[in-house]
Structure 1
Amino acid sequence: MSDAASGAAEIVSIAAGPLTAAISALGAELQALRLGETDLMWNGDPAVWAGRAPILFPVVGELAGGEYRLNGRSFPLARHGFARRRVFEVAERTPHSVLFRLTDDAASRAVYPFAFTLDVRFTLTGAALEVAVTVTNGSAGPMPACFGFHPAFLWPLPGAGAREDHAIVFEADEPAPLRRLGPNGLVEPAGVPTPVEGRRLALRDGLFAHDALVFDAPASRRVRYGGAGGPSITVGFPLMPQLGIWTRPGAGYVCIEPWHGIADSEGFTGDFAEKTGAVVIAPGESHAFGMTIGVSAAG
């Protein structure tokens, strides 16, 4: 496992029907998703935000004090973990799918003391991109882990009307309060009223003045994003219990982020396994995570 500049990492392109996708071996990060000639993803402009769709592993969000605790020891770990900064092996490929693989090494074990395999498979059909993730524990003891997706879609979408016409529609009513991130990136203790009206979240920059909207227990496992006509995007996340929605106010993207884990709460001092959304994988066992991005040509 090694770090690399994004320009040095292999880019793999896949296609099926009208959809094409390009994925970088650096971070197994989706770089582009196109419907015909229409770009749907943010371009990673480093003057605004260099990300496009980073993979979050083995933590999602910020850690209290910049470290986590495990069996009486503390380990430093950067926000969103290390996988997004690592070069994956291209383990399999076909014209419409590719499998990226990351395994542990001395550098990873210094901050995450486990033998692991992280497989990220991208598969295109004629109407959707499926991202299937498998995390396998190769250690002798139980391995706690979190995982998250962070895809950034253009806001506004091409041909879908003005920026203020865009909304995210949930598959179920979402009346529960949201969690808010403080200036230190940690989850504040008190919930805040949801801006979702019934099932519809009308997008506006002011929603993100305090960072991401954190749905720590959403009723929905699918949302639809679009504007007034044009293409629309449906993000499905049946295996992911949390959801984040984020942009930098004024930027040309919105991130719809299925998560299995969230940032630490302020003052959290528990063990890694006690983190919200963490899974504990037994020795020799695996855990699956996943997301689908469905694309419709008509809004």
Structure 2
Amino acid sequence: MTSDCTLSNDHLSLSVAEMGAEMQYLRTQSGMDLLWDGDPAYWTGRAPVLFPIVGRAVDDRIAVGEHSADMAQHGIARRRAFALEEQSKLHCRHVLRADPETRAQYPFDFALYLTHALSNATLTVTARVENLSETEMPFGFGFHPAFHWPLPGAETQPHLVQLQSGSSPTQQPLQSDGLLMPNREDGPFRKGCLGITEPLFKDGALVFPNGTEALRYGAKDGPGLSFTFHNLPDLALWKPVDAPFLCVEPWHGTASLVGDGPQIAERPNSVMLAAGEAAEFGYSVTAEI
């Protein structure tokens, strides 16, 4: 029995796969695709969930106390099948529970719930992480959705990312190996606006620690997507060279810094979740198309 699900209302339709509880499409009822389609010529992902690390670890190896293991970029959840626990026309909830295979890499009992819900032209994605172990559990968490660039209906118009506050957050440079430099520098936002161009991403993703806030991606006076975030203080934007999509990535935690050790607890902005406790994260995106 499949754990895939499909949601639909008068504005949007959405499909979520059991593998990684990853969205497969998000489209308007007029047939405009908003989410990237996973073309392997550029990137097979669409909207992976990042847990229990965000980004890369030094030598792709993590540790929790005396336990150490190999762990690929962005963790294990994106490569695991989730079970479908609830579904209606407008929402579905998947869960990933720890098992012997996950514990071999990440030595905790946990439950990770992913809920996708539609309300008018808004999609809300919520994650709940439960620590079912008897000890404190360190982790990072993030979302990695990719949206078409340009957006449908705005093919000839320049696209911007506009921060609601008009701020200009600092940037943390990312090395070619996926690790972050320890220094901060002035970022490319100017009074909250960033024009999306190919040269902007020539060195990889743009990472803004503690830089998330409500934002809009799209044409200045045309179609766009408006985002709000919950408990996700870090922001990244990523667009591979010549790829027809932009990733808007809210995180709690980032890649390791150059020179860091393998301990998850020492990674930037890691969550330290007490035994028996839970933490929630989420974002909403409204289609203005």
Provide the rounded CA distance (Å) in 2 between the counterparts of 1:228 and 1:178.
23
Q: Deviations over 1:101-130 (max 9, x none)?
A: 000111100000000000000010002011
TM (normalized to structure 2)? Answer: 0.96
Q: Structure 2: which amino acid aligns with 1:90?
A: L
Counterpart residue number, 1:64? 58
Counterpart residue number, 1:138? 132
Q: Aligned-pair distance for 1:256?
A: 0.2
TM (normalized to structure 1)? Answer: 0.92
Question: 2:3 touches 2:82 (CA, 8 Å); kept in 1?
Answer: no
Provide the rounded CA distance (Å) in 2 between the counterparts of 1:27 and 1:233.
24
Q: Aligned-pair distance for 1:92?
A: 0.4
Question: 2:178 touches 2:255 (CA, 8 Å); kept in 1?
Answer: yes
Number of residue pairs the alignment of both structures matches: 288
Helix, strand or coil at the partner of 2:14: strand
Counterpart residue number, 1:247? 239
Provide the rounded CA distance (Å) in 2 between the counterparts of 1:84 and 1:147.
11
Helix, strand or coil at the partner of 1:87: coil
Q: Structure 1: which amino acid aligns with 2:259?
A: G
Question: 2:20 touches 2:82 (CA, 8 Å); kept in 1?
Answer: yes
Question: 1:157 touches 1:230 (CA, 8 Å); kept in 2?
Answer: no
Q: Deviations over 1:22-47 (max 9, x none)?
A: 11111000111111211111110011
Counterpart residue number, 1:154? 148
Unaligned residue ranges in structure 2 (runs of 5+): none
Helix, strand or coil at the partner of 2:50: coil
| Structural mapping, 1:28-107, within 5 Å | 28-36=21-29, 37-107=31-101
**2:163 pairs with 1:170:** yes
Q: Aligned-pair distance for 1:150?
A: 0.4
Counterpart residue number, 1:112? 106
Question: 1:185 touches 1:263 (CA, 8 Å); kept in 2?
Answer: yes
C-alpha RMSD of the superposition: 1.5
Question: 2:69 touches 2:105 (CA, 8 Å); kept in 1?
Answer: yes
Provide the rounded CA distance (Å) in 2 between the counterparts of 1:176 and 1:11.
38
Question: 1:9 touches 1:26 (CA, 8 Å); kept in 2?
Answer: no
Q: Aligned-pair distance for 1:270?
A: 6.3
Provide the rounded CA distance (Å) in 1 between the counterparts of 2:3 and 2:92.
12
Provide the rounded CA distance (Å) in 1 between the counterparts of 2:39 and 2:137.
36
**2:237 pairs with 1:226:** no
Provide the rounded CA distance (Å) in 2 between the counterparts of 1:179 and 1:254.
19
Runs of 4+ in 1 over 2 A off after TM superposition: 8-11, 72-75, 173-177, 189-193, 228-231
**2:202 pairs with 1:197:** no
Question: 1:156 touches 1:166 (CA, 8 Å); kept in 2?
Answer: yes
Q: Aligned-pair distance for 1:65?
A: 1.9
Provide the rounded CA distance (Å) in 1 between the counterparts of 2:34 and 2:137.
36
Which of 267, 278, 281 is matched with 2:259 structurally?
Answer: 267
Identity of counterpart residues, as a percentage? 36
Q: Structure 1: which amino acid aligns with 2:205?
A: A
Question: 1:160 touches 1:228 (CA, 8 Å); kept in 2?
Answer: no
**2:274 pairs with 1:292:** no
Helix, strand or coil at the partner of 2:84: strand
Q: Structure 2: which amino acid aligns with 1:277?
A: N
Counterpart residue number, 1:184? 177
Provide the rounded CA distance (Å) in 2 between the counterparts of 1:175 and 1:265.
22
Unaligned residue ranges in structure 1 (runs of 5+): 1-7
Gap change, CA 1:270 and 1:76, over 3 Å in 2: closer
Provide the rounded CA distance (Å) in 1 between the counterparts of 2:154 and 2:221.
5
Identify the range of structure 1 (171-180 vs 51-60) with the bigger mean alpha-carbon deviation.
171-180
